[in-house]
Amino acid sequence: MALALYKYDACGYCQRVLRAIADLGLQERIELRDTLVDPRWRKELVGATGRATVPVLRIEDEGEEVRWLPESRDIVAYLYERFGEGKKPPAIETRQIHRVATMAMWALLGAGIFFTEWQPSLWFAACLIGAVRSFHNAWRTRAWFPGAVGVVFLFACAAIALRAQGVMDVPWWYVAYGLVAVLLVATLIVRRRTR
Q: How many CB atoms lie within 10 A of CB 120?
A: 15
Q: Please give the Cα distance from 139 to 59 (Å, whole number).
A: 30
Smallest distance, Å, CB 106 to ligand GSH? 23
Q: Please give the Cα distance from 178 to 138 (Å, whole number).
A: 18
Rounded to the nearest 5 degrees, what angle is found at the Cα of 102, between the Cα atoms of 137 and 156?
A: 80
Say which DSSP state 169 is in: -
Q: Is 45 a residue that touches ligand GSH (CB under 6 A)?
A: no
Q: Is 147 a residue that touches ligand GSH (CB under 6 A)?
A: no
Q: Is 145 a residue that touches ligand GSH (CB under 6 A)?
A: no
Q: Is 71 a residue that touches ligand GSH (CB under 6 A)?
A: yes
Q: Which member of 4, 5, 6, 13 binds ligand GSH (CB under 6 A)?
A: 13
Q: Is 146 a residue that touches ligand GSH (CB under 6 A)?
A: no
Q: Is 55 a residue that touches ligand GSH (CB under 6 A)?
A: yes
Q: Which is nearer to ligand GSH, 57 or 156 (by Cβ)?
A: 57
Q: Is 194 a residue that touches ligand GSH (CB under 6 A)?
A: yes
Q: Please give the Cα distance from 14 to 5 (Å, whole number).
A: 9
Q: Is 21 a residue that touches ligand GSH (CB under 6 A)?
A: no
What is the bridge-based pairing of β-strands 2-7 and 56-60?
Answer: antiparallel
Residues of this chain that bind ligand GSH (CB under 6 A): 11-13, 51-55, 71-73, 194
